[in-house]
Amino acid sequence: MSAVSDTFNKTVYEIIAMIPEGRVISYGLLALLAGKPGGARMAARAVSHAPLGVDLPFHRVVNQSGHLAPPEAFSGEGIQRAMLETEGVLFKSNGCVDMRKCTWTG
């Protein structure tokens, strides 16, 4: 765990905490805002390996295609989608988030 990645992770959490209800963000954009353009994988790892104690809306983080995270990360399939829908996030017929309208760019 290097100091650089630690700062990156912290920045990622800060950004996630700023995401308003009814909006989502992609790993790529998340990494970009965190100062790591193209570091989508790092952002994904940072989120998936998030330390306990952090209370953040990880369900608002999806990939660029609008595809949601694996069900096991949210205690069941459809959980993430349910939470997002409750917040007002629009979904497409294929089950993916409507990134065109719900992407939060900061």
Partner DNA sequence: GGGCTGACGGTTG
Partner DNA sequence: GCAACCGCCAGCC
Contact residue for DNA among 7, 54, 67, 106 (CB under 7 A): 67
Tally of CB atoms within 10 A around 38: 9
Residue 92 tokens, joined: 């497409």
**Nearer to DNA (CB atom), residue 39 or residue 81:** 39
Contact residue for DNA among 10, 14, 35, 48 (CB under 7 A): 48
- Residue 3: CB minimum distance to DNA, A: 10
> DSSP character for 37?
T
Q: Which of residues 7-46 bind DNA (CB under 7 A)?
A: 26-29, 38-45
Indicate the burial class of 96 (C-beta count within 10 angstroms; 0-12, 13-18, 19 or more): middle
